[in-house]
Amino acid sequence: MTTRNRVDVIHGVNLDMLGRRPAQHYGDLTFDQLEQQIGTIARELDLEARFFQTNHEGELVEHLHRVGGLADAIIFNPGAWTHYAWAIRDALEIAGLPTVEVHLSDVDAREEFRKVSVIRDLCFATVKGEGVEGYRTALAAIKEKLEL
Ligand code: DQA
């Protein structure tokens, strides 16, 4: 039996700057520490996490074009692209994988522009405002969705 446990963890613009961004919203972990912690949680849940981060919209679009055959599900924190990047939304639709939208901060309790998500209706769940633990919530939701 083939194992369908590959989760592509995708971070968008400015998330590589964690550690230099407002700690009241994003905590004080660096991006490397965040990815390490997500990797640890994934192993605890018997999921295989792969990581991708870019600050270039076209690179993210092309990653989403490729990911269909390489992963079974996506955890997606697009950063500010969440709120307006329609090309990324279309590419996520092309990827066609079960996706959880994750935000470290509670985007619905901040500025008005952060309340809009152009990807939300393509995602089977949204996790926000839980910091790093939000990724555990998202990974657990994926495990259930994939019936693992
Ligand atoms: C974010 C929220 C976005 O509004 C913001 O632009 C980010 C990070 C979060 O994880 O809380 O860059 O996606």
- Asked whether residue 143 is assigned to any structural domain, the reply reads no
Nearest-atom index, ligand 1, CA of 77? 13
Q: Is residue 126 part of a domain?
A: yes
**What domain range includes position 45?**
6-137
Dump pLDDT digits (tens) for 11-49. Answer: 999 999 999 999 999 999 999 999 999 999 999 999 999
**Positions marked catalytic:** 26, 103
Q: What is the pLDDT of residues 98-147, one digit of tens each?
A: 999 999 999 999 999 999 999 999 999 999 999 999 999 999 999 999 99
CA of 95 to the centre of ligand 1 (A): 22
Mutate to test the pocket of ligand 1, among 105, 106, 112, 126 (most ligand atoms within 8 A of CB): 105
CA-nearest residue for atom 1, ligand 1, is 79
Task: Identify the sign of the CA torsion 24, 28, 32, 36.
Answer: negative
CA 126, CA 138: separation in Å to the nearest integer?
8
Q: Is residue 146 part of a domain?
A: no
Residue 1 reports pLDDT greater than 80: no
**d(C-alpha 33, C-alpha 42), whole Å:** 14
- 145 occurs within a structural domain: no
> Mutation test of ligand 1: which of 104, 113, 126 has the most ligand atoms closer than 8 Å to its C-beta?
104
Residue nearest to atom 9 of ligand 1 (CA): 103
Tell whether 79 is covered by a domain. yes
For ligand 1, atom 2, the nearest C-alpha belongs to 79
Residue 147 lies in a domain: no
Nearest residue (CA) to ligand 1, atom 13: 79
CATH of the domain at 13: 3.40.50.9100
Number of domains the chain is built from? 1
CA dihedral 80, 42, 73, 54 (to 10 degrees): 30
Q: Is residue 68 part of a domain?
A: yes
Q: Report CA(103)–ligand 1 centroid distance (Å).
A: 6
29 within some domain: yes
CB-CB contact of 119 with 88 (8 Å): yes
